[in-house]
């Protein structure tokens, strides 16, 4: 049995297991101690607590110095006071000192209103910066997806922890020392030249405005106001269960209809759904999966398994950088966003009778890496991209605020047809395990030629970092692996590389929880329960749909009949599949 420790916090007696920090003990009884450098994704094995910011200091009776609550374990008989005058004055000094080397451009900072340092300064009632001192000066680094302004860095090292421990990417590290110490890349090179895969979890973790996504809202506004352009929008599944948070609604609020109404008010000519393209992805990826598995079962040695999902751009960047020897394993199917773009700029543009240059495709994504994905050369025709701009959930919320739309009062509206119709299978793309569940629903029926009794594959759901399950395809066991978070992906891939475990199919999402925990989603500030609520909402949205299997989407059926031909056929292959590149570091030996 765990040893229990008795202590008193703010006069309340409590018992917690040995090894608990003061911070967690206090939070367990509803006492909130402010923090800045502390960042935890509960259940995902990630906790950043360098104890460096000193904001969480508390008084411990009998101890001379104040203790950092995040880094001090409880002990028997401990008496803690969290909000004495001494504690509050010390916290004020700490924040005051941080502000002495922090730009005071809060009014125009991308993080304004969401900044944890700003909130601390407000809560602590700081009215002047006492200590005028030297300011750090760093150049601003702009990558295709992420902007780094290290002048605003407070050295909490949350980004470093997620980059190294959660994602095992290792692009960011503390460099230099003393006053010059900062979080940076190797040799202070541009992020785009480093091993960064642009998953953006560092942006999600940053408490201040040091890391932010590239802002594309102005380009979108200007396209909308250009009468020569037809501007259409597609929304990813995870956006509809999260954007409500930006307007004060509860995490997990399903606001699909309000979101559609808001997009129409913003002036988009057609409001479509990435979910339509997710159904299309299942047709392509599911067919490819079935072809590979069938050949494998028949004993064809040229077939490589497992087949891996390829929807997630952070994940694609990750395997191109770290697993170049496995480039032939992921499905060649494009992501739903890119499939949507490819269909919109061919099929839909032809139907409207306009050129692809006059059609502007905007995507709303829970993602930062999508900004990079839509700029990839292989997704362009004559220099014109299939998807022109990708905005995060946060950027869409910013645009809605810009137009003074009262989001929570909006009447619900429905997506336009045909590219707005979707099934429940498409919605669950937003949750870890969802893509493979959607593929299983379709692949099962195509493989067994029988109708599924129950479409819910609960064995594929959950939030464990690495999951394995076997689905019975009417007598044929199909082994499935699932990982979310790139560190977990690495664990699963290393097993595959070593041949330790045999999988038929694997789903990987770069962000913890899948797209619901995406880097472009409203900031959760380390409260992972928000991500869990979004995840539940995704499954509710699926359950509420009449059609729940991608191949039953009538508009998908007619798209194949009228335009594409067969799934994985010649035209489908040309428009909906892609290739991957080796992006690993290369060391050349020279004689010189």
Q: Are 387 and 240 in contact (CB under 8 A)?
A: no
Binding residues with another protein: total (CB under 8 A): 28
For residue 570, with 0-12 CB atoms within 10 Å meaning exposed, 13-18 middle and 19 or more buried, which class applies?
exposed
Q: How far is the CB of 315 from another protein (least distance, A)?
A: 18
Q: How far apart are CA 173 and CA 165, in angstroms?
A: 11
- Residue 519, classed as helix, strand or coil, is coil
Q: Which stretch binds another protein (CB under 8 A): 68-76, 296-304, 513-521, 579-587?
A: 579-587
Least distance (Å) from another protein to the CB of residue 111? 24
The answer to whether residue 591 forms part of the interface with another protein (CB under 8 A) is: yes
Q: Does 164 engage in binding with another protein (CB under 8 A)?
A: yes
Interatomic CA distance for residues 202 and 215, integer angstroms: 16
Residues 236, 364 contacting (CB under 8 angstroms)? yes
Name the active-site residue from 171, 194, 212, 331: 331
Q: Catalytic residue at 331?
A: yes
From the list 59, 245, 246, 373, the catalytic residue is 373
**Sequence-ordered strand ranges (E) for 171-298:** 173-175, 182-184, 211-213, 230-235, 270-273
Site for another protein in 490-549 (CB under 8 A): none
60-68, 133-141, 168-176, 400-408 -> range binding another protein (CB under 8 A): 168-176
Q: Is position 378 an interface residue for another protein (rule: CB under 8 A)? A: no
**H-state helical runs in 300-410:** 313-322, 336-343, 349-352, 369-373, 393-402
Q: Which listed residue (160, 245, 284, 288) is catalytic?
A: 288
- Figure out which of the listed residues 3, 449, 454, 586 binds another protein, where binding follows CB under 8 A: 586
Is residue 173 a contact point for another protein (CB under 8 A)? Answer: yes
Which of 366, 420, 391, 409 is CA-nearest to residue 535? 366
User: Rounded to 5 degrees, what angle do the CA atoms 520, 523, 524 make?
Assistant: 125
Q: Which helix (H) or strand (E) holds 388?
A: none
Around Cβ 399, how many Cβ atoms within 10 Å? 20
In terms of Cα–Cα distance, which of 234, 241, 293 is closest to 268? 234
Q: Which among 175-183, 241-249, 530-538, 566-574 is the span making contact with another protein, rule CB under 8 A? A: 175-183
- Dihedral angle, C-alpha 444, 569, 542, 241, nearest 10 °: 140
Could you confirm whether 378 is annotated as catalytic? yes
Residue 65 touches another protein, criterion: CB under 8 A? no
Q: Does position 179 bind another protein by CB under 8 A?
A: no
| 588 near another protein, rule: CB under 8 A | yes
> Does 408 sit near another protein (CB under 8 A)?
no
Task: Give CA–CA dist 281/287, Å, rounded.
Answer: 9
18-26, 162-170, 239-247, 395-403 -> range binding another protein (CB under 8 A): 162-170
Q: How far is the CB of 175 from another protein (least distance, A)?
A: 5
Closest-CA residue to 286 (of 445, 420, 432): 445
How near is the Cβ of 587 to another protein at its closest, in Å? 6
> Which stretches does DSSP call E strand in 326-369?
359-365
Least distance between another protein and beta carbon 306 (Å)? 24
**Residues between 183 and 202 that touch another protein (CB under 8 A):** 184-187, 193-195
User: Which residue of the set 334, 370, 533, 549 is catalytic?
Assistant: 370
Separation between Cα atoms, residue 534 and residue 21, nearest integer Å:
28
Residue 565 has, within 13 A of its CA and on its CB side, a CA count of 9
* Beta carbon of residue 151, minimum distance to another protein (angstroms, whole number): 19
Q: Which is nearer to another protein, 171 or 442 (CB)?
A: 171
Q: Residue 209 Cβ, how far from another protein at the closest point, in Å?
A: 22
50 contributes a contact to another protein by CB under 8 A: no
As a whole number of angstroms, the distance between CA 208 and CA 205 comes to 9
Q: For residue 590, give Cα distances in angstroms to 126, 178, 386, 586.
A: 59, 38, 41, 13
- Catalytic one of 106, 311, 374, 568: 311
Check binding of 177 to another protein (CB under 8 A).
yes
Which segment (167-175, 276-284, 495-503, 538-546) binds another protein by CB under 8 A?
Answer: 167-175
The reply to whether 82 sits near another protein by the rule CB under 8 A is: no
Using the rule CB under 8 A, which residue among 107, 132, 579, 587 binds another protein?
587
- What is the DSSP secondary-structure string of 375-444? T-GGGEETTEESS-EEEEHHHHHHHHHHTT--GGGPPP--PPSSTT---HHHHGGGSTTHHHHHHHHHHH
DSSP state of 22: H
56 catalytic residue (yes or no): no
- Residues 330-339 as b/e (b if ≥16 CB within 10 A, e otherwise) read bbbbbbbbbb
CB closer to another protein, 228 vs 586 = 586
Q: Which of 4, 89, 122, 174 binds another protein (CB under 8 A)?
A: 174
Catalytic residue list contains 532: no
DSSP letters for 466-500: EEEEEEEETTEEEEEEEEESHHHHHHHHHHHHHT-
Query: Based on CB atoms, which residue is closest to another protein, 187 or 498?
Result: 187
Task: Please say if 311 is a catalytic residue.
Answer: yes
Name the minimum Å distance from CB 155 to another protein. 13
Is residue 373 annotated as part of the catalytic site, yes or no? yes
| 463/536 Cα distance (integer angstroms) | 11
Beta carbon of residue 582, minimum distance to another protein (angstroms, whole number): 8
Strand-pair partners of 228: none
Give the one residue of 171, 253, 440, 550 binding another protein; rule: CB under 8 A.
171
H/E run at residue 261:
helix 256-266
Separation of alpha carbons 128 and 281, rounded Å: 55
Work out which of 45, 103, 170, 569 binds another protein, going by CB under 8 A.
170
CB of 246 to another protein, least distance (A): 33
Catalytic member of 61, 76, 350, 378: 378
Nearer to another protein, 185 or 423 (CB): 185
Supply the minimum distance, in Å, between the C-beta of residue 216 and another protein. Answer: 25
Assess 590 for contact with another protein (CB under 8 A): yes
Task: Tell how strand 78-81 and strand 57-60 pair up.
Answer: antiparallel
- List the catalytic residues: 285, 288, 311, 331, 370, 373, 378, 515
Binding site for another protein (CB under 8 A): 164, 169-177, 184-187, 193-195, 582-592
């Amino acid at each position: 049995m765990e040893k229990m420790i008795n202590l008193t916090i703010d006069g309340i007696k409590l018992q917690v297991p040995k090894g608990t920090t003061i911070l967690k003990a206090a939070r367990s009884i509803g006492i909130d101690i402010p923090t800045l450098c502390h960042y935890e994704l509960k259940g995902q094995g990630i906790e950043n607590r360098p104890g460096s910011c000193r904001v969480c200091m508390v008084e411990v009776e009998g101890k001379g110095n104040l203790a950092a609550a995040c880094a001090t374990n409880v002990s028997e008989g401990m008496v803690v006071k969290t909000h004495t005058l001494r504690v509050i004055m010390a916290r004020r000094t700490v924040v005051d000192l941080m502000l002495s080397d922090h730009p005071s451009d809060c009014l125009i900072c991308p993080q304004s209103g969401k900044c944890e340092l700003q909130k601390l300064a407000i809560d602590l009632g700081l009215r002047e910066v006492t200590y005028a001192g030297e300011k750090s000066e760093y150049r601003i680094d702009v990558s295709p997806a992420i902007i780094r302004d290290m002048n605003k860095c407070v050295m909490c090292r949350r980004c470093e922890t997620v980059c190294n421990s959660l994602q095992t990417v290792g692009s960011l590290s503390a460099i230099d020392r003393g006053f010059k110490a900062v979080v940076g890349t190797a040799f202070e090179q541009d992020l785009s030249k480093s091993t960064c895969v642009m998953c953006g979890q560092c942006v999600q973790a940053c408490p201040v405005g040091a890391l932010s996504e590239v802002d594309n809202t102005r380009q979108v506004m200007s396209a909308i106001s250009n009468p020569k352009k037809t501007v259409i929008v597609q929304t990813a599944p995870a956006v509809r269960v999260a954007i409500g948070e930006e307007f004060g609604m509860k995490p997990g609020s399903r606001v699909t209809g309000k979101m559609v109404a808001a997009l129409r008010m913003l002036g988009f000519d057609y409001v479509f759904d990435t979910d339509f393209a997710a159904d299309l992805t299942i047709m392509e990826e599911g067919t490819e999966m079935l072809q590979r598995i069938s050949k494998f079962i028949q004993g064809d040695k040229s077939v490589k398994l497992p087949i891996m999902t390829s929807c997630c751009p952070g994940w694609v960047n990750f395997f191109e950088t770290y697993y170049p020897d496995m480039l032939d394993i992921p499905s060649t199917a494009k992501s739903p966003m890119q499939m949507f773009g490819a269909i919109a700029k061919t099929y839909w543009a032809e139907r409207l009778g306009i050129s692809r240059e006059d059609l502007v495709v905007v995507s709303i994504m829970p993602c930062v890496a999508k900004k990079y994905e839509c700029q990839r050369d292989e997704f362009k025709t004559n220099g014109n991209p299939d998807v022109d701009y990708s905005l995060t959930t946060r950027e869409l919320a910013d645009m809605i605020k810009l137009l003074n739309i009262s989001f929570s009062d909006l009447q619900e509206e429905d997506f336009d047809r045909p590219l707005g119709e979707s099934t429940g299978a498409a919605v669950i793309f937003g949750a870890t395990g969802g893509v493979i569940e959607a593929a299983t629903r379709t692949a099962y029926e195509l493989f067994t030629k029988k109708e599924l009794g129950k479409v819910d594959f609960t064995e594929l759901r959950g939030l464990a970092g690495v999951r394995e399950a076997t689905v019975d395809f009417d007598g044929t066991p199909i082994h499935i692996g699932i990982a979310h978070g790139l560190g977990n992906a690495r664990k699963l891939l290393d097993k595959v590389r070593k041949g330790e475990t045999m999988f038929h199919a694997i789903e990987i999402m770069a962000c913890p929880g899948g797209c619901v925990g995406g880097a472009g989603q409203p900031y959760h500030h380390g409260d992972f329960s928000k991500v869990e609520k979004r995840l539940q909402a995704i499954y509710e949205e699926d359950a509420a749909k009449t059609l729940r299997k991608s191949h039953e989407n009538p508009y998908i059926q007619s798209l194949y009949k009228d335009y594409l031909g067969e799934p994985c056929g010649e035209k489908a292959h040309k428009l909906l599949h892609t290739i991957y590149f080796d992006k690993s570091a290369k060391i050349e030996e020279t004689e010189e």
